[in-house]
């Protein structure tokens, strides 16, 4: 890991270490390189762009193998991130002496509009957009956001898909899954 990456993005590095993920040192290095590259990329973000923006001389196949073959569990990463967020919320509120149990969970769905000519991208379908008042060709993203005092953090998000005209998961089911957290 370059000293430049640590200097410019030490808060990201601290966050990754605070999550206490079950990653080997090389896996952690790849994760930090990806995060660093995403921060530095302008415009379209691809693995090749991430690699170029970080000035890493490793072969592109190393980065793709990390994503495809590394034995890490995305559910564990999500659980660690959510635990970290809850501890941060508790700490910040205790520091202010705020003992009120007021926390809001904001649930929403949004459409990520695509051009109608886009046909090969997985998960595209017509979804109703409240802002446009009609169904649009898009990805549908269901999100949860936690707000407490002046702290506002993204909690979770899930893609909503239709499969051959039938729903493979309803939006209320996704919202229920996101609202289920045990500390």
| Nearest-angstrom CA–CA distance, 156 and 90 | 18
Phi, psi (deg, nearest 5) at residue 38: -65, -40
Q: What is the pLDDT of residues 40-64, one digit of tens each?
A: 887 777 888 888 877 766 677 888 8
pTM of the model: 0.55
pLDDT value at residue 80:
86
74 has pLDDT over 70: yes
pLDDT digits (tens, 9 = 90+) for 92-131: 888 888 877 667 778 888 888 888 888 878 788 888 888 8
């Amino acid at each position: 890991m370059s000293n430049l990456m640590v200097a410019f993005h030490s808060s990201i590095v601290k966050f990754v270490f605070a999550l206490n993920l079950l990653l080997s040192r090389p896996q952690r290095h790849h994760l930090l390189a990806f995060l660093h590259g995403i921060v530095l990329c302008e415009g379209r973000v691809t693995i090749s762009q991430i690699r170029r923006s970080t000035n890493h001389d490793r072969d592109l196949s190393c980065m793709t193998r990390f994503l495809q073959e590394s034995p890490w569990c995305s559910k564990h990463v999500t659980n660690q991130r959510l635990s970290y967020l809850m501890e941060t919320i508790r700490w910040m509120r205790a520091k202010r002496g705020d003992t009120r149990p007021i926390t809001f969970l904001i649930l929403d769905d949004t459409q990520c509009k695509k051009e109608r000519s886009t046909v090969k991208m997985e998960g595209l379908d017509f979804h109703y957009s409240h802002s446009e008042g009609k169904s649009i060709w898009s990805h549908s993203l269901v999100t949860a956001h936690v707000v407490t005092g002046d702290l506002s953090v993204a909690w979770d998000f899930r893609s909503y898909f239709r499969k051959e005209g039938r729903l493979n998961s309803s939006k209320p089911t996704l919202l229920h899954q996101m609202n289920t957290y045990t500390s």
